A and B are shown apart, each in its own frame.
Chain A
């Protein structure tokens, strides 16, 4: 085709006329481009100014040191102590203000994510599926979530007859309890974590079990076979996958020697290594088991849309169902935060946290883990329930426990062995990776010794037609 002819079909024309992002940016009107470049220059200069402040150490510990919002709270605490207030009022205030500020922060994170998360997810999945996501409601489709929320809120509330009155109303709210509570022990910066419990890891494991209750209530109270079936599947899956999560976190605790989340992060920063490089199998097991905990694909058999409509929340209409769909997203970033904290170094980044605020680093890591979740969701088909359970009980749990024993041995060696980090940790990492790979291969070979895992042979091509006789000839 010569250059003068237009592409004939609408589809090929659309493909040919599509401009890349750079072309479209450079095609903006001139005043906007000028403004953008001015802003860029201003940003660069401000970064240089900040850099000077950071290097000269003038910023450390001041209340306006936004690299760590805990500094502000500590200064406030100091102000309250030094003022002449009644000591009880002072202590109450000193407790109340950071608590309320932190709680507001966490709820606004979760709430804010619920506003923009669906948009992000839908646009991202659309990119994987070679189409655009929502781009009509508002600029770039940003108001889509708001539109969906308003639509859901104005829907008629249909309560199935025979539904348990109290138990029917509790689950949509109750599913959010673990989604919000789980943020408590996560450290955002050295002095910034809402409730830095000494038993942070135990707290995390306990929180993940709360979700099961809400699912159970929802399935039971709906008085519906679909819901019950979906709830049973979901519960079975969730409690099965709590064990690999606990075992992975046990491996983390063994290596770092503490159940306090901030100390886990500090251990990773001191030793200059991320735990994902040392115990990769535990990290992957945690990731996979978490998708089961939060009911995301490939483990969303409980709400398998193509099979039993919506599983345990079939009977919920309007915003109640919307809350169930929303909590999946809130849980996704919670798991992202946990994964980052335990395995990806939390708010530290090999020294970058003196320049960029720790919470921004953590937010970036959460975003990356979330992207991984969306990628998996867009690509993989769903596992069947018996395949899921078999995978958890027959593969993940035994192998995780075996590798956890290995980690225990390594951690006791690490404590006693006086060698530079590079050597000891490198050796541990190497041993872990090879043993994980080896154990996986061997165990899978044992598990699937009866099934044929090879790529099936290609179909036969023939030109002779016929019935059973010809089929016999073809088979040889």
Chain B
């Protein structure tokens, strides 16, 4: 009985950077990041590579990071029993465009529709991009952090739980707390020696 492993982003980024130089824009030990217009290339390469053999797309989802939207792909190999995580970020909130992974994985069909519906990310190359849960003409994209802003707040989130210890910090849910999540550094574009090694130490 083998236990499954999640491949280190550093390894993946190194190998990927050797064959497709400059494609990786950021790396941590959990995931690699590529540009939104090079998603198909990356996924196709990972699918065809013998070392990674990412034949199945486990999960395709998106996270709203206030200034951009981050689309996350969880890939796995069934024979080699490992997973890898690929991320990409849109160039802005409006319009948020990413290449569609449908040509590589058919399983992206409905998941990309869901991301389009709830987050507003357009996937270029998707054969049938329309809303999945909400009706045509629904104003806005609900899962975005600025949808239905509550009075005095910009985003969703609990500031603190009412029955917690009193000394737990109350988090301000407002513009100051905007960049929540892991911070990372964008590596250089074309210099081969620089790909895949820049691990950011400060998380947050």
Q: List the interface of chain A (C-beta within 8 A of B).
A: 463, 465-470
> B2, A468: Cβ atoms under 8 Å?
no
Nearest Cβ on chain A to B126's Cβ, whole angstroms: 26
Number of interface residues of B (CB under 8 A): 9
- List 16 A-B residue pairs with CB atoms under 8 Å apart, sorted by A's residue number: A463-B1, A465-B2, A465-B78, A466-B78, A466-B79, A466-B81, A467-B53, A467-B55, A467-B56, A467-B77, A467-B79, A468-B55, A468-B78, A468-B79, A469-B79, A470-B79
Nearest Cβ on chain B to A373's Cβ, whole angstroms: 45
Number of A-B pairs, beta carbon distance below 8 Å: 19
List A contacts of B79 (CB < 8 A). 466-470
Q: List the interface of chain B (C-beta within 8 A of A).
A: 1-2, 53, 55-56, 77-79, 81
Nearest Cβ on chain A to B56's Cβ, whole angstroms: 8
Residue of B nearest to A469 (CB): B79
List A contacts of B55 (CB < 8 A). 467-468
Residue of A nearest to B78 (CB): A467
List B contacts of A469 (CB < 8 A). 79
| Sample of 17 further A-B pairs with CB below 8 A, known A467-B56, A468-B78 | A463-B1, A465-B2, A465-B78, A465-B81, A466-B78, A466-B79, A466-B81, A467-B53, A467-B55, A467-B77, A467-B78, A467-B79, A468-B55, A468-B79, A469-B79, A470-B78, A470-B79
Provide the bound-state CA to CA distance between A470 and B55, in Å.
Answer: 14
Residue of B nearest to A467 (CB): B78
List A contacts of B1 (CB < 8 A). 463
List A contacts of B2 (CB < 8 A). 465
Nearest Cβ on chain B to A201's Cβ, whole angstroms: 60
Nearest Cβ on chain A to B25's Cβ, whole angstroms: 29
Nearest Cβ on chain A to B197's Cβ, whole angstroms: 31
Provide the bound-state CA to CA distance between A467 and B82, in Å.
Answer: 12
List B contacts of A463 (CB < 8 A). 1
Nearest Cβ on chain B to A67's Cβ, whole angstroms: 72
Nearest Cβ on chain B to A4's Cβ, whole angstroms: 44
Residue of A nearest to B56 (CB): A467
Nearest Cβ on chain B to A470's Cβ, whole angstroms: 6
List A contacts of B53 (CB < 8 A). 467
Provide the bound-state CA to CA distance between A469 and B56, in Å.
Answer: 14
Provide the bound-state CA to CA distance between A468 and B78, in Å.
Answer: 8
Nearest Cβ on chain A to B51's Cβ, whole angstroms: 15
Provide the bound-state CA to CA distance between A467 and B50, in Å.
Answer: 13
Residue of B nearest to A470 (CB): B79
Nearest Cβ on chain A to B99's Cβ, whole angstroms: 25
User: Which of A467, A468, A469 has the most C-beta atoms of chain B within 10 angstroms of its own C-beta?
Assistant: A467
Provide the bound-state CA to CA distance between A427 and B144, in Å.
Answer: 85
User: Which of B53, B55, B78 has the most C-beta atoms of chain A within 10 angstroms of its own C-beta?
Assistant: B78
List B contacts of A468 (CB < 8 A). 55, 78-79
Provide the bound-state CA to CA distance between A467 and B83, in Å.
Answer: 13
Nearest Cβ on chain A to B46's Cβ, whole angstroms: 14
Nearest Cβ on chain B to A267's Cβ, whole angstroms: 68
Residue of A nearest to B77 (CB): A467
- 9 shortest interchain CB distances as A-B pairs: A467-B78, A467-B79, A469-B79, A466-B79, A466-B78, A467-B55, A470-B79, A468-B79, A467-B77
Nearest Cβ on chain A to B65's Cβ, whole angstroms: 33
Nearest Cβ on chain B to A472's Cβ, whole angstroms: 10
List A contacts of B78 (CB < 8 A). 465-468, 470
Provide the bound-state CA to CA distance between A460 and B151, in Å.
Answer: 59
Nearest Cβ on chain B to A154's Cβ, whole angstroms: 36
List A contacts of B77 (CB < 8 A). 467
Nearest Cβ on chain A to B79's Cβ, whole angstroms: 4
Nearest Cβ on chain A to B27's Cβ, whole angstroms: 26
Provide the bound-state CA to CA distance between A463 and B79, in Å.
Answer: 14
Nearest Cβ on chain A to B60's Cβ, whole angstroms: 19
Provide the bound-state CA to CA distance between A463 and B2, in Å.
Answer: 11
Provide the bound-state CA to CA distance between A383 and B53, in Å.
Answer: 45
Residue of A nearest to B55 (CB): A467
Nearest Cβ on chain B to A463's Cβ, whole angstroms: 8
Provide the bound-state CA to CA distance between A470 and B81, in Å.
Answer: 11
